[in-house]
Amino acid sequence: MRQCSFVAALALALCLGLASGAQAATADPSALPEVRATSPGAPPAVESEADAPPPFVRRPKRPAQPPRRDLTYASRPAPASFRGLVWGAPLAEAEPRAGLVAITSPKPLRGAYHRPDELLKIGQADVRSIAYYFQKGVFMGAGVMFEGEANYFLIKDHLMELYGPGRQVGDRYGWTWDTLSIDLRLRDGVGELRYTCEAPAKK
């Protein structure tokens, strides 16, 4: 009989203790740790500072980069003349001094002249013809025709010695300055070297 009374008293004490704990939790919710939702079967995880995402970090600003050098331009000065004839020279002065004769064969070319006694060489390369072009009576360009890959590379090497490396654009290799350009091309065994002046040289 005493044993039954003891068991009843113990059960009553446990019920009273659970009830008081539930009341305390309801009165002060912060007393319990915050539990993160987890997948079923996983133990609950307690929220802590280590679980917080990292703060936002701005990317460091890159220092200003210097402007890139325009590689299409030649690294050495442009030639002021072609075979002794200054760019922008008037035809009235150049024709008698250089012995220029208008080109009429195989057909007339307006503003195009040649030298009958011209040495048909560019560096070590053999060339077929050299023409001088005048625009509005002013010397503005020159054209050279040649044949073969060997002459192409001889001319290219000669010009690189004079003006440094050029640039390849399509099938043309050349050099560019503010008011002058030189283009070299070989197509189907026929080569062309062209000088083009964009404006008369200042005197």
9-50 pLDDT, tens digit each: 444 444 444 444 444 444 454 444 454 545 555 555 555 554
CATH class of 88-197: alpha beta
Query: Which pTM was predicted?
Result: 0.63
Spans of all domains in the chain: 88-197
Residue-wise pLDDT for 109-143, tens only, equals: 899 999 999 999 999 999 999 999 999 999 999 99
CA 174 remoteness from chain centre: 19
